[in-house]
Chains A and B, each alone.
Chain A
């Protein structure tokens, strides 16, 4: 632990401000709470929102796991994990089941989460209506009035152009039947895991200065049309390392001749299954 910093990098007043905003976010599921986002020692887009939420929640006894696109060993994940072990001295892990706090970018772990775990998402654009409505004052009014017809315009465009809803990540959801919410750029494969999850889910957008939350056991519904229901991705392959047929698969090019293999995107889940198979 580097002693020059306060515990978990942020000063105590900033952490208190963040916790207040988080309490408000939990009280109004899916509502985007503005907060005073701080400069962090990494660029916007690398998870500054998620890092601030993690810093505000970390205690000395917590065990932290950081995932980037499902993997524990990619640059973003390694750096954020190392950052917190330096400035907070907390234990870190790659095992989903051992973690109390999980900061994630673009995935929800395949292993089911528990009530004593918190999942923290890094969010680039918290406003699901932004592509159609650039004015912030207008999107806030639309949220206030629950006037969400606009979101279906994008889904309509998908079907008109591709014959099916082609949106495959950051798929809009309605939280607790009230607030239209961006689930962050997770694949829509993970959307069903948001629904009535036992774990608290927190979302932080550093550049956009917004926090929001999906409290445990909250109803989360993915938008769809009556005649084009919500569907998740399916593969004709199984993971070539662990043989899993029901996890989210990455397609990896393995040589210069275009040979491909499909492997689990969740590295902890995949290696866990391989250890189990050997035992």
Chain B
């Protein structure tokens, strides 16, 4: 199961030599090593027809899941979300769904920016490094895959 809320996958124990940027008070190079922990993206709406695409699950499994929602799940529309690198995969899934439906499905894509927070935790607690956070932006896509209403 691709539970994105699993805290286990969120912590990437990378050691980054933290450099003092111009905004911080320290002037000399900071020797303290930090562990960069990437927090998970916040506030994910989770309906039954929301699919969050990631890069860890097999592509075909994710595609099959979407197909199942549309075919057997009785949904007339699903929402495929992708963040960062997974944008490509989300687009791929949406286009594959559309292709296999022989044109019955339509796509409506929206893009957005998601603010992500990284925690910097000092490696060595004895040293005077303070935990810090950094925010950065990443792009995201939300593709509505739907059967257009007959008019």
Do A and B assemble together?
Answer: no
A residues at B contact (CB < 8 Å)? none
